[in-house]
Structure 1
Amino acid sequence: MTGAAPRRRRPDLRRLVRLLGQRSARRFTLLLALLAGFALLLLLAPRPDPAQLPRLADSLGGYAPPAAIVAGALLLVALVPRTFVTLAAGAVFGPLEGAAYALGAALLAAAIGFAVGRLLGRDFVAERVRGRLARLDGWFTRQSVPGVITVRLLPIASFGLVSYGYGTTGARLLPFLAGSVIASAPTAFGYAAIGAAVSSPGDVNWYAAAPASLGLIASVVIITRWWRAQRSAPR
């Protein structure tokens, strides 16, 4: 009697594994459909009038900064280019405040995209990656902040799409968020200063864009040190 019990459980175990695989495939399909919907919406949606943004911010009063951060994050999650979001923030709030709000939106969007990718895509990827893809997934799992900065600075995909992709890997959340903000800092200050210059050319102090150069230098130093450590590490 004791030897017959495991035989009865084996079909149930296989059925459970098959059911979990089907659920992960459905969630991954939902993730792909979500991304396709965002891409289609990005192509078909009417473009907002930038001249209306300052009036909208004035009407919100003290709620304008948090509204800008949340709205910017939602736009980034919907695959809107971060350049547009940062330029708009600079045009409305000025170079320094606009850059700060753009970075806040980037941080929130990175967290949302990572969470959605982890919820809908991680199980599917973990169950099916083999060979080189499995080694690549392991590389993402071991990644620290400099590795995230390196990937963020590569022109491979939009900010939101990279966030979704990271969620499907074994990457850790905190290094991903820190690397995302650091990599976004140089262009955030630079594009915010440009946006402010376009909206009010005579009122912009271009020294406000100085943090962009500092962030760029810091990013280069971090990436160089990480690259040297990778080359010196045993294979």
Structure 2
Amino acid sequence: MWRVVATSSALRFGMLLFLLAGFGVMLLLTPLPDPATLPHLADRLGGFAPVAAVLGGALLLVALVPRTFITLAAGAIFGMLPGALYALGAALLAAAVGFAVGRLLGRDFVAERVRGRLARLDRWFTRQSVFGVMTVRLLPISGFGLVSYGYGTTGARLLPFLTGSVIASAPTAFGYAALGAAVTSPGGINWYAAAPAALGFIASAVLLTRWWRAERRTRATLPLK
């Protein structure tokens, strides 16, 4: 019976790897459109444009398209403030989908095999607060979609993960949406509205510094082997 369960979890984990590999190949072979050519899409979609922006952006993030491009495009199409909000909505939805897929396809496989330091790392993810998720999101370790899949394979809780993901995404959402809006209407951007991005970058630096110091204190208290 145990072998059947182990084989099933291995097959699901293989499906996850195959899915990510397929997204990676598709990303390499499919050229991204120029954000400057996208604003006419909002006119064609009319009142459905915001919904399409959130759903389409989420699908692209799940397919490992960089969040930078999606936020630039949202700013170019809708303007800075609406574009930033739609990009954050897409990020929230994509984080939930990526987490769910990672949990469904990869969690059992990982939980059955983690040992030693990997087990301690998994327990760290399980205990993580919103602050911990924000710290990981702000580290330049991987793309938005890939981190979402990875979190799903750990014991992390969904609500802190989603909350931390959105908070960590907010600064760059406003900043890149402002850049995208400047592409299509350079004279119509109120750059004071981009202040949340600047404050967010400062907050990011503070968070990373606090995390680094906390890690140093933790290592200093660990018993020597």
TM-score (normalizing by structure 1): 0.88
Report the CA distance between 1:228 and its aligned residue: 5.6
Does residue 1:216 correspond to 2:198, yes or no?
A: no
Gaps of 5+ in 1: 1-15
Equivalents in 2 of 1:161, 1:103: separation in Å? Answer: 17
Match of 1:176 in 2: 161
After TM superposition, the runs of 4+ consecutive aligned structure 1 residues lying more than 6 A away are none
Which residue number corresponds to residue 17 of structure 1? 2
1:218, distance to aligned residue in structure 2 (A): 3.8
Q: Find 1:43's aligned residue among 16, 20, 28.
A: 28
- Residue from 86, 103, 115 that aligns with 1:130: 115
Aligned partners of 1:126, 1:68: CA distance in 2, in Å? 36
Q: Equivalent residue of 1:201, what SS?
A: coil
SS in 2 for 1:202: coil
Deviation sequence 1:35-94 (CA, Å, 0-9, x none): 000000001113324344211111111110111011111111100111000100111111
The residue type equivalent to 2:9 in the other structure is S
Query: Which of 45, 53, 56 pairs up with 2:41?
Result: 56
The aligned counterpart of 1:33 is 18
Rate the CA distance shift 1:75–1:18 in 2: closer, same or farther, 3 A: same
Is the 2:62–2:94 Cα contact (8 Å) retained in structure 1? yes
Matching of residue 140 in structure 1 with residue 161 in structure 2: no
**In structure 1, the residue corresponding to 2:38 is in which secondary structure?**
helix
The alpha-carbon deviation at position 146 of structure 1 amounts to 1.0
Report the count of equivalent residues: 220
Deviation per residue, 1:167-203 (Å, 9 max, x gap): 0000000111111111111111111101111111111
Deviations along 1:130-168, whole A, 9 cap, x unmatched?
111111111111111111111111111110000000000
Alignment RMSD (CA, Å): 1.7
What residue in structure 2 maps to residue 78 of structure 1?
Answer: 63
Identity over the aligned pairs, expressed in percent? 77
Distance 1:36 1:224 in 2: 34
Q: Which residue of 2 aligns with 1:151?
A: 136
Report SS of the residue matched to 1:116. Answer: helix
Greater Cα shift, 94-103 or 24-33: 94-103
Give the structure 2 partner of residue 186 of structure 1. Answer: 171
Give the conservation status (yes or no) of the 8 Å contact 1:182–1:215.
Answer: no
Matched, 1:204 2:196: no
Which residue number in structure 1 is paired with residue 73 of structure 2? 88
The alpha-carbon deviation at position 208 of structure 1 amounts to 1.4
Structure with larger Rg: 1
Instruction: Name the CA distance, whole Å, in 1 between partners of 2:63 and 2:77.
Output: 21
State the TM-score, normalizing by the size of structure 2. Answer: 0.92
* CA distance in 2 between partners of 1:25 and 1:109 (Å): 24
**2: CA distance between counterparts of 1:110 and 1:57?**
24
For 2:34 and 2:68, locate their aligned partners in 1 and report how far apart those are by CA, in whole Å.
16
Residues 218 and 155 from structure 1, CA distance in 2 versus in 1: closer, same or farther, beyond 3 angstroms?
closer
Distance 2:164 2:87 in 1: 15
